[in-house]
Amino acid sequence: MLPTVAEVLALDPVRSGAPRVLAGADRLDAQVRWVHVIELTRAAHLLRGGELVLSTGIALPDDAAGLQHYVAELAAVGVSGLAVELGSRYARSLPAALVSAAADHQLPLIVLERETQFIEITEAVHARIIDAQLAELRSAERLHQVFTELAVSGAAADDVVAQAASLAGCPVILENLAHHVLACAPGTQDAAALLAGFAARSRAVLVSGRTGYDAASGWLVTVVGARGEDWGRLILLRSGSVAPAPGDVTLIERAATTLALGRLLDHQQESLERQAHAAILSAFLGHGYADQSEAEARARALGVPVTGRCLVTVVVRLAAADAYPEGRPPAAAYSGGPPPVPPAAAYSGGRPPVPPASPGLEAHARAAAMADELAEVCRRQRVPALVGSLDDNRVAALLALPPRSDAEAALTRLAQQLRPRLSEQDVIGAGSAVASVGSVHRSFTEADHVAEAAAGNGSDLPFYRLPDLRLRGLLHLLRDDPRLQAFAERELGPLLMHDDASGTQLMAALTAYLSAGGNKAEAAKQAHLARPTMYERLRQIEDVLGVDLEPAESRLSLHVALLALTSAAA
């Protein structure tokens, strides 16, 4: 940062001249870009602004009008101050007309009451200026390295905003053109207070040009966009009336460029709105929010009011690629030949269901697309909702329904519109409706468990609640209990070991038999085995496990163990 007039006056070479401020004392914070020694009656045409002018006064005009004109020209060109040394022209004091003119134009006027070496002053000040310029260059180089690394690594908007806030030492917010907060790094400030009434405050801040400072709010704002398409604003918030530091403009513009570049290059990633929603949903599903007011403020800043609402959680679990052979339902599921292709009009939006995705970018793209589909369904139903993908296999939503709404009816409408876009193996899980943000974590955990337990259930329900899962749901919730794990291992462990050692498929035969309710003929059909082969495998199973499969209690015990084993592997 360039030195100010006040800082120059504190330097030893200047202090040796016994400086005294005669006018413009309230302008000593003006920065000094250079020091210039001038002994001319007309000097303004040689200056560019920001200089501290040193003079012995020998060439100053004799009359008051001339002094007025001299000062007026210096002030007009924007010099930082005028310092006049006594002794050569003025013995004891400076002319009153000079002091009056400096006061009229608010130009700092300093008298040096003792003789001093001007060369020492210029050397000291210029050394400070050069150091400041080098510091700015080093800072600019650091910003370049930091934001280039973020851009190359494909950092999320949250990471870019957080880095900008860390470098600036103050809060930074990214908003879209609707003044919804896409990312917020509050720093040491309270997030809830920072985001309270944000949209209204943001609309009131208008700056000229792409980057501008609003003194009333203390906001430094820059537009974010590329190729002539602006989509947001990046805001640096200095506390109180603190003006932005010299490097703040460079910092915020470099961060905005990184955000714009990331969005321009990464066409397969979710929109920033979906990313912002997903960040809040992940926090709810993780450890929740320690401060309920912060969660409410963050959701409200994204245009989703959650206070005083009926909150319903939804988790859509997408099937992995290995759920089907070659990523599609088996041909045996159809009457014959290849799977039929329904007309486009049969699907929501005129598009067929999105098939299960393979791991990697394709799976991520499918989850992102499903999040957009779910968000669009919520918009069509006029239901405010936070919607985002949690990972490659899960998409979550928090529906903010009006108070005393029928949550079941809202979920039914949502599932009816979303189901055509899902594959047969994708499931929708819903948690219990809650009335406060503090309970959302529990509801989301329930919805996630329900969706996970319902995967591969074989039912055709449009969505699942915990009561729909019955025994399977209970076993899924208890899947980490050592007692349940020991029971499953005790019941089925010998059969698993036999299959591993002998390369047999007895476990698959038992699964088909139990799924068929003990009907051997139906089990043979499901397993695609001849009846004698199925009968022989069932006999082998009885020998290996040492049990009789005919009693219903025996089959029930094995079926519970099988469900427990499946839940533990999920």
Contact between residue 112 and residue 17 where contact means Cβ atoms under 8 Å apart: yes
User: What amino acid is encoded at 4 in this protein?
Assistant: T
Q: What is the mean pLDDT of the chain?
A: 85
The model scores a pTM over 0.95: no
Over residues 465-476, mean pLDDT: 77
How much is the pLDDT for 330? Answer: 34
Q: Is the pLDDT of residue 76 over 90?
A: yes
How much is the pLDDT for 342? Answer: 38
Interval 246-294: pLDDT, tens: 788 889 999 999 998 887 765 444 577 888 898 888 888 877 777 888 8
Q: In what order do the strands lie in the sheet with 51-55?
A: 19-23, 109-112, 81-85, 51-55, 34-37
Interval 157-175: pLDDT, tens: 899 999 999 998 899 999 9
How much is the pLDDT for 570? Answer: 56
Contact residues for 347 (Cβ-Cβ < 8 A; gap 6+): 353, 420, 421
Give the lowest-confidence range in 16-30, 47-61, 277-291, 429-443.
277-291
DSSP code per residue over 219-245? EEEEEEEETTEEEEEEEEE-STTPPPP
Over residues 515-533, mean pLDDT: 91
- Domain 154-267, what fold? Beta-Lactamase (3.30.450)
- In percent, the amount of the chain with pLDDT more than 70 equals 89
Q: Is the pLDDT of residue 334 over 70?
A: no
How much is the pLDDT for 273? Answer: 81
Q: Is the pLDDT of residue 11 over 50?
A: yes
Sequence ranges of the chain with CATH classification 3.30.450.30: 154-267
Sequence ranges of the chain with CATH classification 3.30.70: 273-470
277 token code pair: 């929603």
How much is the pLDDT for 340? Answer: 37
User: What amino acid is encoded at 347 in this protein?
Assistant: Y
Over residues 328-356, mean pLDDT: 38
Looking at per-residue pLDDT, the higher value among 319 and 219 belongs to 219
How much is the pLDDT for 155? Answer: 84
565 strand-pairing partners: none
Task: Please name the residue ranges forming H helices in 503-530.
Answer: 506-515, 520-526
How much is the pLDDT for 75? Answer: 94
User: What amino acid is encoded at 55 in this protein?
Assistant: S
Contact between residue 570 and residue 455 where contact means Cβ atoms under 8 Å apart: yes
- Domain 273-470, what fold? Alpha-Beta Plaits (3.30.70)
Nearest Cα neighbor of 494 from 476, 518, 510, 479 is: 510
Specify the DSSP element, H or E, that contains 394: strand 394-401
Sequence ranges of the chain with CATH classification 1.10.10.2840: 482-569
Contact between residue 201 and residue 216 where contact means Cβ atoms under 8 Å apart: no
- In percent, the amount of the chain with pLDDT more than 90 equals 49
How much is the pLDDT for 507? Answer: 92
User: pLDDT category, 321, cuts 50, 70, 90?
Assistant: low
Task: Please name the residue ranges forming H helices in 214-335.
Answer: 248-265, 272-285, 292-301
Q: Is the pLDDT of residue 501 over 60?
A: yes
How much is the pLDDT for 331? Answer: 32
Task: Compute the residue count for the chain.
Answer: 570
Q: Is the pLDDT of residue 325 over 80?
A: no
How much is the pLDDT for 30? Answer: 92
Phi and psi based region of residue 349 (left: phi greater than 0; alpha: psi -120 to 50; beta: remaining): left
User: pLDDT category, 383, cuts 50, 70, 90?
Assistant: very high
Domain 482-569 annotated CATH 2.40.50.100: no
Which overall architecture, per CATH, does domain 5-126 show?
3-Layer(aba) Sandwich (3.40)
How much is the pLDDT for 415? Answer: 93
User: pLDDT category, 545, cuts 50, 70, 90?
Assistant: very high
How much is the pLDDT for 343? Answer: 37
Greatest mean pLDDT among 282-286, 317-321, 417-421 lies in 417-421
Contact between residue 3 and residue 13 where contact means Cβ atoms under 8 Å apart: no
Specify the DSSP element, H or E, that contains 487: helix 482-502
Return d(Cα 274, Cα 259) in angstroms, integer.
Answer: 15
Looking at per-residue pLDDT, the higher value among 148 and 221 belongs to 221
Return d(Cα 317, Cα 282) in angstroms, integer.
Answer: 15
